[in-house]
């Protein structure tokens, strides 16, 4: 503890000294004569060398910074370059390290041995004469396992993961986590009701994603809910699929749903169909079902790509009530235009969590919910603090590398 304090104090002292030196050194320089150049340029000031931390830190980099010589840009304006030297001890000899162009105020030494103490010397050069050399040291390169400039990323990530885990655990223990009812679910129920009134089937398309796609999984949860309603109303439910595994999963889901409401005989395995893995062949086949079997309600839930508009447009022309749900942002505009109701993005997952109360889904949903609250809070705080002081540490913390 004492050591730490001492180190901080030393650091502060060094910094304040450096600042003082910089402030004092703004001396005017107009004494130069334009004859044969025997006058060396003014030396540089504020030389500092620090261990350089980047993403591939092996402790072999030291970053050297300085303030320009008074003759660089101003004064005699004759600085051509800066010469850098390095030494392994105050008494050891200086080795040439490199050259920085005039106007440059930093140099990255990428040839340091990790852990070795170095001294650095820099002098301005006008083509003939070197200025007095300024030196700094000792400084050693270290391998850093932790990049302090990215703390904000770590903190927010831990907070987010922590919230997801806590909510998941809570849900597993049966805590009553509130999720509001998504209006889209009402729309689904209305659509199924309408199909029953008209005595026509319900078409449920679980997207063309694979079974490992989270949207497909969410879709199967909603399918279970829909199947329970159609089972009760004794309305036929057609489920066309584009993936073999999704088809067998859908079969299980629908069969269980029919059994759950006490209508196991109402389940018709012929209505859960595998059509084609090829995207447009699948879309064409589903369009065929819409035109031939005339479902009164078309539900599209899951992962959709370019076939979205083909399906929704045909369904619209066929006069069905359509409810869609997807998290594919690029396809949402098409569903929004062509369907009566659309579950947008996260609403699909929310609907699925609401219906299934599955702990992992609930945990993820609640976690991201509170992350949104945190984001809004951070943003609002940032706006206010920034208005008061644009150079504040709060916003800077978030803009760190």
Among 7, 50, 169, 372, binds another protein (CB under 8 A): 372
**Residue 336 beta carbon to another protein: minimum distance, rounded to whole angstroms:** 5
Q: Give the nearer residue to another protein in terms of CB position, either 37 or 369.
A: 369
Q: Give the nearer residue to another protein in terms of CB position, either 242 or 257.
A: 242
**Residue 170 beta carbon to another protein: minimum distance, rounded to whole angstroms:** 13
Q: Could you say whether residue 114 binds another protein (CB under 8 A)?
A: no
The alpha helices in 294-399, defined as continuous H runs, are 307-317, 332-338, 346-356, 359-388, 393-399
> Residues 177-196: x/- map of binding to another protein (CB under 8 A)?
-xxx-x--------------
The alpha helices in 38-176, defined as continuous H runs, are 151-172
Q: Could you say whether residue 31 binds another protein (CB under 8 A)?
A: no
Q: Tell me how far apart the alpha carbons of residues 24 and 342 are, in angstroms, rounded to a whole number.
A: 68
CB distance 28 to 82 below 8 Å = no
Q: Give the nearer residue to another protein in terms of CB position, either 80 or 344.
A: 344
Structure tokens at 191: 């659509």
Structure tokens at 390: 């644009």
Give the range of 87-95, 233-241, 249-257, 331-339 binding another protein by CB under 8 A.
331-339
Among 55, 96, 176, 199, binds another protein (CB under 8 A): 55
Among 160, 200, 211, 232, binds another protein (CB under 8 A): 160
Q: Could you say whether residue 214 binds another protein (CB under 8 A)?
A: no
Q: Which residues contact 83 (CB under 8 A, 6 or more apart)?
A: 96, 99, 122, 123, 125, 130
Give the range of 120-128, 151-159, 202-210, 222-230 binding another protein by CB under 8 A.
151-159
Residue labelled with tokens 């959709």: 304
Among 156, 198, 261, 318, binds another protein (CB under 8 A): 156
Q: Could you say whether residue 292 binds another protein (CB under 8 A)?
A: no
* Residues 252 to 291 in contact with another protein, rule: CB under 8 A: 284
Q: Give the nearer residue to another protein in terms of CB position, either 3 or 373.
A: 373
Q: Tell me how far apart the alpha carbons of residues 81 and 125 are, in angstroms, rounded to a whole number.
A: 5
C-alpha triplet 97, 102, 107: angle, nearest 5°: 40
Q: Give the nearer residue to another protein in terms of CB position, either 80 or 156.
A: 156
308, burial (CB in 10 Å: exposed 0-12, middle 13-18, buried 19+) = buried
> By three-state DSSP, how is residue 345 classified?
coil
Q: Give the nearer residue to another protein in terms of CB position, either 14 or 153.
A: 153
DSSP of 209-272: --TTSHHHHHHHHHHHHHHHHHHHHT--EEEEESSHHHHHHHHHHHHHHHHHTT-GGG--GGGE
DSSP state letter for 104: -
**Residue 342 beta carbon to another protein: minimum distance, rounded to whole angstroms:** 9
325, burial (CB in 10 Å: exposed 0-12, middle 13-18, buried 19+) = buried
Q: Which helix (H) or strand (E) segment is 274 a member of?
A: strand 272-274
Give the range of 88-96, 122-130, 230-238, 379-387 binding another protein by CB under 8 A.
379-387
Q: Give the nearer residue to another protein in terms of CB position, either 80 or 395.
A: 395
CA distances from 193 to 229, 258, 295, 308, 315 (A): 9, 17, 12, 24, 17
Give the range of 37-45, 222-230, 237-245, 347-355 binding another protein by CB under 8 A.
347-355
Among 48, 117, 346, 358, binds another protein (CB under 8 A): 346
Q: Tell me how far apart the alpha carbons of residues 58 and 389 are, in angstroms, rounded to a whole number.
A: 37
Q: Could you say whether residue 398 binds another protein (CB under 8 A)?
A: yes
Q: Give the nearer residue to another protein in terms of CB position, either 5 or 388.
A: 388
Q: Could you say whether residue 344 binds another protein (CB under 8 A)?
A: yes
Q: Could you say whether residue 51 binds another protein (CB under 8 A)?
A: no
Task: List residues binding another protein (CB under 8 A).
Answer: 54-56, 108, 150, 152-154, 156-157, 160, 178-180, 182, 284, 321, 329-330, 332-334, 336-337, 340-341, 344-347, 350, 354, 365-366, 369-370, 372-373, 375-376, 378-379, 381-390, 395, 398-399, 401
């Amino acid at each position: 503890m004492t050591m730490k304090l001492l180190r901080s104090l030393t650091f502060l002292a060094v910094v304040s000294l450096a600042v003082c030196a910089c402030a004092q050194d703004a001396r005017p320089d107009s004494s130069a004569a334009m004859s044969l150049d025997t006058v060396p340029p003014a030396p540089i000031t504020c030389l500092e060398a620090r261990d350089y931390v980047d993403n591939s830190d092996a402790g072999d980099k030291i970053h050297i910074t300085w303030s320009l010589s008074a003759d660089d840009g101003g004064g005699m304006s004759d600085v051509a370059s800066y010469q850098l030297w390095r030494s392994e001890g105050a008494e050891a000899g200086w080795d040439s390290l490199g050259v920085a162009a005039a106007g440059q105020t930093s140099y990255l030494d990428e040839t340091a041995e990790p852990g070795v103490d170095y001294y650095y010397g820099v002098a301005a050069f006008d083509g003939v004469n070197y200025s007095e050399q300024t030196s700094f040291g000792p400084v050693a390169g270290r391998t850093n396992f932790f990049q302090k400039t990215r703390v904000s990323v770590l903190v927010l990530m831990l907070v987010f993961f922590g919230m997801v885990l806590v909510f998941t655990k809570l849900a597993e223990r049966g805590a009553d986590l509130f999720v509001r009812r998504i209006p889209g679910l009402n729309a689904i129920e209305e659509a199924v009701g309408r199909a029953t009134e008209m005595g026509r089937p319900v078409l449920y398309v679980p997207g063309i994603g694979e079974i490992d796609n989270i949207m497909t999984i969410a879709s199967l949860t909603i399918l279970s809910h829909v199947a329970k309603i159609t089972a009760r109303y004794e309305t036929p439910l057609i489920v066309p699929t584009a993936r073999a595994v999704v088809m067998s999963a859908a079969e299980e889901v629908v069969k269980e749903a029919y059994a759950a409401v006490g209508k196991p005989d109402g389940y018709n395995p012929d209505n859960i169909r595998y059509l084609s893995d090829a995207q447009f062949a699948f879309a064409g086949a589903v369009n065929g079902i819409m035109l031939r079997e005339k479902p009164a309600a078309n539900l599209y839930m899951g992962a959709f790509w370019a076939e979205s508009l083909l399906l929704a447009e045909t369904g619209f022309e066929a006069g069905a009530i359509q409810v869609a749900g997807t998290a594919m942002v690029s396809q949402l505009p098409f569903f929004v235009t062509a369907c009566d109701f659309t579950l947008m993005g996260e609403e699909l997952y929310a609907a699925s969590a609401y219906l299934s109360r599955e702990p992992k889904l609930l945990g993820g949903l609640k976690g991201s919910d509170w992350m949104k609250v945190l984001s809004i809070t951070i943003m609002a705080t940032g706006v206010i603090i920034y208005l008061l002081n644009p150079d504040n540490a709060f916003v800077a913390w978030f803009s760190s590398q």
